[in-house]
Amino acid sequence: MTAATEPTRPRRSDATRAAILQAARDRFAAEGYERATIRAIAADARIDPSMVMRYYGNKEGLFAAAAEFDLRLPDLTTVPPGQLGEALIRHFLSRWEGDETLAALLRAASTNPGAAERMRAIFADQITAAVAAFDTDPAAAARRAGLVAAQTLGLAFTRYIVQLPPIVTMTPEELIAWVAPTLQRYLSGVPEN
Amino acid sequence: MTAATEPTRPRRSDATRAAILQAARDRFAAEGYERATIRAIAADARIDPSMVMRYYGNKEGLFAAAAEFDLRLPDLTTVPPGQLGEALIRHFLSRWEGDETLAALLRAASTNPGAAERMRAIFADQITAAVAAFDTDPAAAARRAGLVAAQTLGLAFTRYIVQLPPIVTMTPEELIAWVAPTLQRYLSGVPEN
DNA sequence: CTGGAATGTCAACGGGCGTTGGCCTACGGT
DNA sequence: ACCGTAGGCCAACGCCCGTTGACATTCCAG
């Protein structure tokens, strides 16, 4: 190895890398994994398809880079216990509107095993960890996290992918009003009332 | 035209047609629209790919035939109002387990506009019609139907497509116990309560 | 100023896809 | 027994895909 280079000296190609990643997210979100072609992504980014290969190895590598996603869940222990549901759904909605990474992940997870695995990891790990803060039974916490994921992903699926008219039409505040109590019960309630 | 033939005289090719349809449903459900190839479907059905074209015109026509789906919702007016949620989720679960058509539709709806349109039609029309039986405000009924679809499709998506471990592990009865109250509130409750 | 590394272009490959049209086979009405 | 026709196969077409390797250009350290 050479002597330690400056850790973050900007490379000239960083702009290209970023352009590719942005175009990839757009295409993956709009068309899903298999319909989004390397050639179209490269054209959007105004470079040659071979550059995509140089920087990301292959299509799977590109998707892995483009679908990097963090729910950025807040620390639920600082939220009043009665407002957990509202805090969660509010956070999810604001996290999605304006970041198409989740749409890309959702579309791709339907057909691409790697994307499905990524989705499992994100929702199982991150939500379960957040829930585990106040339900100390691991199995119960996982179940609660799964139910939250089911309601949450269902909302995202119908609003952003299928675009079911009544769900698309509803304002964030309306959605919050309806869904918050559901999440609240999944987080802290007991089954069958 | 010739004189009216017997309306339902079985053609010799009916078995082939059915085999193609079954193979198509399997492949579409397992791999989604674009990964499921006509060639693979034909191989599963042990016939030549050109037969698929002869009988279904093209790939879209085949999918349209394979994704024919009816929720077969029961008449909700005969259900005690307090058990609407449980009746619905129970019906959905039994309708899905063992019929992969919905999985095919779900997977395909993520990437195929026609499949998404079909999904919208099924859930908007059929559920809305069922809900309209006891909420006479059309806009409110559509909203309730949308929320039911969101929760329901989210459950299907996490259980059959993404296969989120805690959701896959739960028994139908456990799922019913958790989800029934949610649907009950979406059907007959008021927001933020 | 110079030479090597970084950045980017170009043309082509092998392969799989949906789809087509021609040809063979065997059933079944007359 | 005949033969029209429905059912089925085969080979090929044109297209687009992911991916590759050779070549051109730009940058920057020495």
User: Which two tokens mark A172?
Assistant: 């964030």
What does the pLDDT look like over A119-163, one tens digit per residue? 999 988 899 999 998 899 999 999 999 999 999 999 999 999 999
Q: Which residue has the higher pLDDT, B134 or B171?
A: B171
Closest-approach residue (CA) in chain B for A120: B164
A163-167, B41-45, B73-77, B159-163 — which is least confidently predicted? B73-77
Q: Residue B162 carries which side chain, given as an amino acid letter?
A: V
Task: Please give the Cα distance from B116 to A147 (Å, whole number).
Answer: 24
Q: How confident is the model at residue A12 (pLDDT cuts 50, 70, 90)?
A: confident
Is the pLDDT at B12 greater than 90? The verdict is no
Task: Please give the Cα distance from A71 to A74 (Å, whole number).
Answer: 9
Task: Please give the Cα distance from A109 to B162 (Å, whole number).
Answer: 7
Task: Please give the Cα distance from A111 to A97 (Å, whole number).
Answer: 23
| CB proximity B157 to A under 8 Å | yes
**Region B30-45 average pLDDT:** 97
Look at residue A10 in the predicted model and tell me its pLDDT: 65
Q: How many CB atoms lie within 10 A of CB B40?
A: 16
Which residues on B lie below 8 Å from A118 (Cβ)? none
Cross-chain Cβ contact A182/B178 below 8 Å: no
| CB proximity A183 to B under 8 Å | no
Q: Which of A28, A178, A179 to substitute to test the interface with B, most B CBs within 10 Å? A: A178
User: Which two tokens mark A119?
Assistant: 């989705």
| CB proximity A193 to B under 8 Å | yes
User: Which two tokens mark A35?
Assistant: 């319909």
Cα A9 from chain centre: 30
Q: Which nucleotide is nearest to A50 (CA to C1')?
A: D19
| CB proximity B106 to A under 8 Å | yes
Cross-chain Cβ contact B142/A165 below 8 Å: yes
Please enumerate, as own/partner, the contacts of A173-178 that have beta carbons within 8 Å and a separation of 24 or more: A174/B143, A174/B191, A175/A89, A175/A93, A176/A86, A176/A89, A176/A90, A176/A93, A177/B191, A177/B192, A178/B147, A178/B186, A178/B191, A178/B192
What does the pLDDT look like over A78-121, one tens digit per residue? 999 999 999 999 999 999 998 999 999 999 999 999 999 999 99
Nearest CB to A143; choose among B150, B170, B191: B170
DSSP string, B73-92: ---GGGS-GGGHHHHHHHHH
Look at residue B10 in the predicted model and tell me its pLDDT: 64
